[in-house]
Amino acid sequence: MKRLIIAFMIIVCSTCSQPENESILNEFQEIKNLSVYSADTKSTHIIFLIKDTVYRESDEIIIGKLGEIAVDRLGLVFIADTHKQVINVFEPDGKLINQIGREGRGPGEFSSIKSLIVRENRLYVHDFHQNRVNVFSLDSLQEEKTILLAKSRRDYSALVGAYSLTSEFIVGNRNTYFAKFLTNRTTNNSKRVIWQNIEIKGLLYLLDHNGGISRKLLEFTDTVYTIIPYNNLPAMEFPLTPFYGKAFTLLSSENIIYFIEPDHFLVKIYSPSGAYLHAFHYPLEKIPLTRASAINIGVSELGTSNPELFINNMDSIVLPEFWPVLTDMKIDDEDRLWIATTVEDMSFYEWWILQKDGELITRFEWPRDVPIEVIINGYIYTRETEKETGLQQIVRYRIEFEEV
């Protein structure tokens, strides 16, 4: 039976991209326990996303700058205000009910909220500049403890020369903690040149319950930075993420590690201890990255307050030949993978929803400028800009699947 649904229309792509060339496939033959799926694989379901609730500032609360969000299993929505350094708590229906924390360096205070994570009835707040995590009870919204990150990093030679602050804090079930560090140590001793690209390495470590480093799990290429000028001198490393992409690491409900890099639709799967298990691959055609498309699409996504600097110097920037194949990865509370891929129509990403073994459930197109932030409880939560006011807001959509 067909249903009429007034919703944001999701267009399932009917065209399929062509396989990568044989040299790439030969490269993947080196990977053990690799499952290769056809890019022509048909969806088993159609997805409908029905707009449901909006979370935004009101007469009672003005949000300075909308930051990261998290959602618990009861549907409470936590939205960071990275200007005021507080966390606004909303009921599922969009009503503001509380605030957590304030700006400062004391207990329960924040100086720079990097991420929010909900796990096992706790809210973890990664304070980037203080290199610590504040842990709050979801029952009382009171702080339980503070985790100081990576106090033992000097004991690990691989972290010598790495950036001083923890790039990413990841929480698994059963109080399991992971941390990602970034390093450019291969170029630390070389002369810095304006518009020089620097490959940034990522290092994933297991942490103990106190935030100390237990052991190294993975090392990989995370992204690419470029040296941009300040007063005509090489001064600052700036991430070229829209052009080069970045690596993503996620955890399942069983603390299984899912890892992707941007250049191929290749998902590697590791045990909680970092042992490689298996991988799966979909051979997708890459989209050429031209100077025009870099200016029209990529510069606006750099998040810079001076886009003209990049536009005027585009000929000096070394760009990759292709756009990233994979641009984002999420995992929902049913351990389904949601992976965003680049398509020819640069106004959209094509999102793939997969079973945990890589089997395709469905694909759908979603606006590039409406990032999907969280998938939980049968909803997705997106970050959108209200056209009339220019203010950002979080929008919840109900997910419905229908078998093909």
For residue 48, the tally of other CB atoms under 10 A from its CB is 18
Q: Closest Cα partner for 285 from 318, 259, 323, 245?
A: 323
Q: Which CATH class is domain 56-148?
A: mainly beta
For the entire predicted model, the pTM comes to 0.91
Residue 1 and residue 57: Cα distance in Å, rounded? Answer: 40
Q: Residues 6 or more apart from 265 whose CB is under 8 A from it?
A: 281, 282, 283, 284, 325, 326, 339, 341
Cα-Cα-Cα-Cα dihedral of 229, 231, 232, 235, to 10°? -40
Amino acid at 35: S
User: What's the angle, vertex CA 262, arms to CA 242 and CA 371, rounded to 5?
Assistant: 50
Range 19-45 average pLDDT: 79
Burial of 165 by CB count in 10 Å (0-12 exposed, 13-18 middle, 19+ buried)?
middle
Residue 98 and residue 140: Cα distance in Å, rounded? Answer: 11
What digits encode the pLDDT tens for the residues 73-106? 999 999 999 999 999 999 999 999 999 999 999 9
Distance from CA of residue 139 to its chain's centroid?
27
Tell me the β-bridge partners of 169.
Answer: 179
Write down the pLDDT at residue 254.
96
Amino acid at 379: Y
8 A C-beta contact, residue 336 and residue 401: no
Residue 290 and residue 207: Cα distance in Å, rounded? Answer: 42
Give CATH 2.40.10.480 domain extents, the chain. Answer: 56-148
What digits encode the pLDDT tens for the residues 348-361? 999 999 999 999 99
What digits encode the pLDDT tens for the residues 137-166? 999 999 999 999 988 888 898 898 899 999
Lowest mean pLDDT of 31-40, 184-193, 256-265, 302-311, name the range: 184-193
- pLDDT of 38 strictly over 50: yes
Write down the pLDDT at residue 234.
67
